Structure 1
Amino acid sequence: MNIQHSTTASGDLIWFKSSHSGDQGGDCVEVAAGPGTVHVRDSKDREGGSLAFTPEAWAAFVGFAAAQPLTA
């Protein structure tokens, strides 16, 4: 899996919050698609940077995560 730390300015990307993130805080993930990359960041620390994945690596991760049983 190709992972790199991204310092892309958040104003250049349109971020989407995970539908699995609650409104009371907790584990919150945001994702943005850029040219040839998918960016992921912690919504509680938006200035803390993000990770950038190739679209193929992100699709593989999402496919793997979707196949895992949900736990509380």
Structure 2
Amino acid sequence: MLGFGLPNAQVDIAKLHGRQLRRLHPHIEASSRLGDALTRWKLPPLTWPSVVSEATASALLYLRLQREIALTA
């Protein structure tokens, strides 16, 4: 798309959320909606949908999931 690669690694938050949720609760169906994931991991909901708030929420979710993974490993 850009014609060159980006140096930063990409993380699929939805896959990470689904994997961790299945690990802890195999019988629960994981939703791919950001709002559902925020609720599930007890993070503040999106108050106003915008690119910045979604990026911030995704970053908070990533940090929470990394913490949960470290605690359950």
Length-normalised TM-score, structure 2: 0.35
| Bigger Rg, structure 1 or 2 | 2
Task: Point out the structure with the larger strand share.
Answer: 1
Length-normalised TM-score, structure 1: 0.35
- Larger relative contact order (CA 8 Å, sep ≥ 6): 1
Task: Point out the structure with the larger helix share.
Answer: 2
